[in-house]
Structure 1
Amino acid sequence: MSSKTMFAQQYDARDNKLHLNQVPIPEPREHELLVKIKNASLCHSDVMLFEPNDQGLILGQNPVTIGHEATGTVVGRGSGEAANKFKDGDNVGFLCAVECCFDCVNCRTVHNSWCVTGKTKMQGFSLDGYFQEYAVVDARAAMVLPEGLDVNTAAPLFCAGVTAFHGIQDCELDPGQWVAVIGCGGLGHLGIQYAKAMGLKVIGLDIADQALEEAKTCGADHVFNSIKDKDWKDKVLEITGGGVDAAVNFTASKKSYDDCPAIIKPGQGLLMVVGIPRDPLQLNALDIALGRYRVKGSNNGTCYNMRPAIEFSAKHNIQPHQTLFKLEELPKMIELMNSHKAQGRMGVVFEGK
């Protein structure tokens, strides 16, 4: 491999497979940083590329390097004002939305996906992502890692962490209230840590025993396997005195969403939508109209709400539990995710300078 090329794990829609390709190292534009990737982690959204879905994932270039969750070290910069706020050697994390303005009301308060320019693209889907040795990232969506976060292991915080933090925080619960974390894997194990750091009482729900063990390690007060324990809904109602104050669903399971209303406290409880199932959700309009429960969404963040999540993580020692692999082992990571055999997050650590 020459000094101008690198290895990248690229999805090719023509055969619906990954290929470890040798590709050129990109050059940063005026507003971009060139980052030597240190840690890239796998998100369920990455795996959705291989599946039929109608939830809005748009593939752009083909083939495309997958991965939208990483940390790394700045090794080059464009000449613009945003890029010059960083220096070579800075350890950084970043979000994957690019080509948006970062300044309109939607970018600032909703999500970069709805930028008024209509030009937003997502690295890892419509442009090359982070399962490659170097990547260019928008300096406006990047931040220097706070003290206490390790560039070699912090990648999950820059999608899963920001998503899980806001999934819990946006429920607006008070300390001592009950939250159900549905799906205790890559997102949920972080959500449980955030919930406990915010003083909440937590019930962890999953269908994989290893994920429930992870939930207990992260501080969940009670855990239930919703397949093996036929009485889990009754037990949740009994423990919480009538239902949880919020149910935060981190899964891609439509059935788990269908099960949520039964465990939410009537009249004041909240269903927080985070995970994206392959099929659209079905909600009972009468339940919503009569106030049985409320529905709210929480997404993977913008550069404006990224920093509070990351700084909270550093302050409260929120640690992603991550199993590490080599770049060429990414297909194995995807297989483990699809078979529900993984605990926590799975990531690649890039060795060398």
Structure 2
Amino acid sequence: MSSTMKAAQYNTIPIPNPGDNDLLIKNACASLCHSDLMLFWGHTAEKPPMEKVTIGHENTGTVTAVGKNVVGFKIGDPVGCLGCSYACYECEGCRIHNLHCVQRTGKLHGFTTHGHFAEYSLADYRNSMVLPVGMDLPTTAPLFCAGVTAYHSIKKCALQEGDWIAIIGCGGLGHLAIQYAKAMNLRVIAIDISTSQLESAASLGADLTFNSATTPDYQKEILTQTNGGAHAAVVLSASNAAYASAPTILRINGILMIVGIPKEPLPINALDILLGKYRIMGASSGTPQQMREPIEFRHEYGIKPHLTTFNGIEHIHEIVELMESGQAAGRFGILF
């Protein structure tokens, strides 16, 4: 019998003191990401923490105190930060993702260090940025994981204007990816099993929409209407079925972009890759060096996250249940 257990607790805890490299942020909004829930589901390589850890890795707020090493930030600055703090941000591993830091000091907010579903939270200043003037704090919060990831999942495909890109999974990341793709003058195929998600996708400019659960021949329809298939398919769903079907809608040497994290290993046919039937790439929220571009792009092109907000941390269970249902569009956030 295990000596530990899970429990729901109601706590007020001390406001944290910033370390040497920390910003103390008075949070305006923290938004919930699918990966915040993966720890509870046993659906991640991260092990559940033995100590109490506040969840959440998407936030915006205002700087209220700074550590002694902090440069480039001042009290009162509106800020957001990425999900991994306390890496060195300079080594070969950090140039790919801060979890690969050779010093092994990187910590994930909400997993191995406290996250942002709290009135105040800490973040490494090297992992943070001051927001462009005029950006709304609450609706910007989802951009610091979902937005950055969605942007790079589109841009890394390096497609030409007018090319076809399939967005598979049109929820929290997908509705942002559609907007980014349209702003880059790509033609978008939206694929989902939710009617409400597809209606949202169409309203955001998706050129074609398909319900993969109710349209048996949707792959043939895509190949016909695109004259050969999509140039890239971005899989934002965590479904193994989504990955299994994605190559069937690609044109020869198209890109399978991996973003969603399924529980089971992916079924990859080595011969397909060897013969160039399609290519495999991946995208994530990445590094601080990749953070500013998508945030400023959003500001310039008016990308609008679908964010449903609730006032107060007592609504956290409600938004967890809404995300688990998979039926509601966009993101859910807590306002402080």
TM-score range normalised by the length of the shorter chain: over 0.9
- Contact 1:37–1:73 at 8 Å: present in 2 too? yes
- Give the superposition deviation at 1:148: 3.5
Which TM-score applies when normalising by structure 2?
0.96
The equivalent position to 1:253 in structure 2, one of 235, 239, 242, is 239
What is residue 188 of structure 1 aligned with on the other side? 174
What is residue 230 of structure 2 aligned with on the other side? 244
What is residue 70 of structure 1 aligned with on the other side? 59
Letter in 2 for 1:324: T
> How far apart, in 2, do the equivalents of 1:242 and 1:291 lie?
15
What is residue 72 of structure 2 aligned with on the other side? 85
The equivalent position to 1:323 in structure 2, one of 295, 308, 321, is 308
Instruction: Work out whether 1:40 is the aligned partner of 2:42.
Output: no
The equivalent position to 1:28 in structure 2, one of 6, 12, 18, is 18
- Contact 1:29–1:78 at 8 Å: present in 2 too? yes
What is residue 297 of structure 1 aligned with on the other side? 282
Q: 3-state SS of the aligned residue for 1:219?
A: coil
**CA deviation profile, 1:242-298 (whole Å, cap 9, x unmatched):** 1100000011101100000100102x2000000101111110111111110000011
> How far apart, in 2, do the equivalents of 1:188 and 1:119 lie?
31
Instruction: Work out whether 1:216 is the aligned partner of 2:205.
Output: no
Query: Alpha carbons of 1:271 and 1:41: their partners in 2 closer, same or farther (altered >3 Å)?
Result: same
- Contact 1:248–1:271 at 8 Å: present in 2 too? yes
Instruction: Work out whether 1:340 is the aligned partner of 2:326.
Output: yes
Which TM-score applies when normalising by structure 1?
0.92
> How far apart, in 1, do the equivalents of 2:327 and 2:316 lie?
15
> How far apart, in 2, do the equivalents of 1:200 and 1:19 lie?
47
The equivalent position to 1:227 in structure 2, one of 201, 213, 234, is 213
> How far apart, in 2, do the equivalents of 1:210 and 1:170 lie?
28
Backbone CA RMSD of aligned residues: 1.4
Instruction: Work out whether 1:128 is the aligned partner of 2:114.
Output: yes
The equivalent position to 1:104 in structure 2, one of 87, 91, 110, is 91
Q: Can you give the 5+ residue segments of structure 1 that lack an aligned partner in the other structure?
A: 1-12
> How far apart, in 2, do the equivalents of 1:124 and 1:118 lie?
17
Letter in 2 for 1:105: E
- Give the superposition deviation at 1:30: 1.2
**CA deviation profile, 1:169-202 (whole Å, cap 9, x unmatched):** 0001011000000000000000000000000000
| Residue identity (%) | 48
- Give the superposition deviation at 1:20: 3.8
251-260 or 147-156: which moved more?
Answer: 147-156
Q: 3-state SS of the aligned residue for 1:338?
A: helix
- Give the superposition deviation at 1:57: 2.3
Q: 3-state SS of the aligned residue for 2:209?
A: strand
Instruction: Work out whether 1:311 is the aligned partner of 2:296.
Output: yes
- Contact 1:33–1:138 at 8 Å: present in 2 too? yes
